[in-house]
Structure 1
Amino acid sequence: MGKHVVVGSGQVGNHLAGKLLARGHEVTVVTRSGSGPAGATRVAADVADQARLIEVTRGADVLYNCVNPRYHRWLTDWPPMAASFLGAAEATGAVLVILGNLYPYGPVTGPMTEDLPLASTNPKFQVRAKMWADALAAHEAGRIRVTEVRGSDYFGPGATDQSYLGDRFLVPLREGRTIQLVWPADMPHSWTYLPDVADALIVAGADERAWGRPWHVPTGEPRTFREMGERMAALLGRPAPRLMRLPWPAVQAAGLFSPMIGELRHTRYQFVAPYVLDSSAFQRTFGLAPTPLDEALKATLVA
């Protein structure tokens, strides 16, 4: 079994570390606080400290970047951390697997595939695009081996308060209360199941066919908020939930007092038009399909 270093212990990092441990691997989890699942070696470190990250990563087969700074801190937090990851991968020879996202594509028409240009004009999303461009350049120069795995909005066990299908959706659904939405209830949207993200990261780190390009996490057919809510309610034996959309001016006003809410204006395009992820390349290449929706929703509801 190999040694794997997972940096970040949030909604993806925890799933990833747990799955690696279940497969018998030696797992080190690196966070600022030293948190992580039982069975892993837990290290408290500043990820931007390249020397420290190199020290922790020595002897590792794979280094996973599962860090997720708050959106309003991307411009300041990402560049030094990204440089640290590249330095650690080059110094140790570990395969670098980056947990990416879809933001750098910007607004698109039609399903998103991995060959789309990273054309977003948003400075925060351009930071993510540059992270991948720098990593790919290092790969093509023979300095590192790298891949990036991108998913859509997450749902599933362990989803944080940043998930639109997390507690702010699930708690009122379970209690029979009206679910308040920021976005339209009936717009098709791709949702990526958290355990599928972890599985895709593991495959990408272990299979050399994945290196040197980005991949999309196996993701099911797009569903609206209403469809997801109705299916969850049916699985709970409850009537369809009531959905209420908050007025956009009210959301904008709240953004004056909350940096996170203020950031919603940058992602609004993802929810007011169909937002569809095409993951067929990964599914075809590696034979990994998304978890069936009812199975994923049942696990989400009992978490």
Structure 2
Amino acid sequence: MAVHLIVGAGMVGSTTARQLAERGEQVRIVSRSGRGPAHPQVQRVAADATDAARLGELADGVAAIYNCLNPAYHRWLTDWPPMAAALLTAAERSGAPLVIAGCLYGYGEVAGPMTEENPLAATHPKLRMRADMWRAALAAQRAGRIRAVTEVRGSDYLQAQSILSFVMGKPLLAGRRAFVPGPLDVPHTWTSINDMAAMLVTAATDERAWNRAWHVPSAPPLTVRELATRFTRAVGAPAPRLATIPGPIFRAAGLLSPMMRELQTTAYQFARPFVMDSTAATATFGRHPQPIDEALRETAALLGGVPGRTSGTPETQPVTA
């Protein structure tokens, strides 16, 4: 049986590995630390994602290569180029399709719901980089250098690395006021990591998905206020109390915190409707999103707030490579 090579052992990579393993597939998951889910079908490997020769060795004979890396946002300009180049080289040498866990940053500021047909028009260097990565991978496929490539694009995750998990979750679980770096009443699409992983597996194993981008089937959009209300109801926490962080304080926080500084880069996503249309994936593959209340309960469990099944374990928390 062929092996699926996953590079990156954060929440997305580990969830994808677990889903593949649970359906009987062999998985090799690579991270700098050698972490990943503990499962008899999963081999955990410590390797540098910028080492093209090593990735090429690990990719020999695999069914697919999954780029599930997520460098720290403030290091995108330095960390992404060598990682993306190494993965392209591994795909070229192995002949395996390359599946990229992507995002919506490449579109830049948009008017109206985003589809896969939207132009990749981002102008900020960090946002444009994600678009350039996809363009480079697609150009390599069209030039015959790699067999196939696809990018799966999700919106802000519910279970990790989002306003909910990073900013609001713990205060809401404790019944405290949550301070949010953005407007509270603007519609926004939220993606479950489980749905991202399922769509990555589909994109790797169904040739209909190759050589184009797909949006992850995601729940209908919710404002931050609606999301907080849905979250507290789903887990039995007190009704949410929310406040927007004043602009000057938000900007000052960015001087001290790289994460808060990066939230300023993408603040446009919360200033007006940021809605992703994923009907193409649903129509083509029959995929539907995880019930949002289930995903919200998983988010709370990951934050230590309620008992229940989670998408990961302590060893599979987000890492940078």
Please classify the TM superposition score into its range, dividing by the shorter chain length. Answer: over 0.9
Match of 2:118 among 91, 116, 119: 116
Distance 1:95 1:258, change over 3 A: same
Match of 1:129 among 128, 131, 136: 131
Match of 2:152 among 146, 149, 160: 149
Gaps of 5+ in 2: 303-321
Separation in 1 of the partners of 2:185 and 2:106?
25
Q: TM-score, normalised by structure 1?
A: 0.95
Letter in 1 for 2:29: V
Residue 3 of structure 1 aligns with which residue?
3
Match of 1:107 among 106, 109, 115: 109
Distance 1:71 1:208, change over 3 A: same
Q: TM-score, normalised by structure 2?
A: 0.90
SS in 1 for 2:164: coil
Letter in 1 for 2:296: L
Residue 50 of structure 2 aligns with which residue?
48
Deviation of the 1:66 alpha carbon: 0.4
Residue 242 of structure 1 aligns with which residue?
241
The percentage of counterpart residues that share the same residue type is: 55
Separation in 1 of the partners of 2:220 and 2:236?
23
Residue 317 of structure 2 aligns with which residue?
none
Superimposed CA distance per residue, residues 259-300 of structure 1 (whole angstroms, 9 cap, x where no aligned partner): 222222211110010100000111110000111222322333
Residue 32 of structure 1 aligns with which residue?
32
Superimposed CA distance per residue, residues 130-159 of structure 1 (whole angstroms, 9 cap, x where no aligned partner): 111111011112222110000000013xx2
Quote the RMSD (CA, aligned, Å). Answer: 1.3
Letter in 1 for 2:22: A
Separation in 1 of the partners of 2:237 and 2:14?
31
SS in 2 for 1:63: strand
Residue 139 of structure 1 aligns with which residue?
141
Superimposed CA distance per residue, residues 24-78 of structure 1 (whole angstroms, 9 cap, x where no aligned partner): 1111110011111112211111111100000011110010000001122111111
Larger RCO (alpha carbons 8 Å, 6+ apart): 2
Separation in 2 of the partners of 1:259 and 1:291?
31
**Residue 295 (structure 1) aligned with residue 297 (structure 2):** no
Q: Number of residues paired by the alignment?
A: 299
Residue 269 of structure 1 aligns with which residue?
268
Gaps of 5+ in 1: none
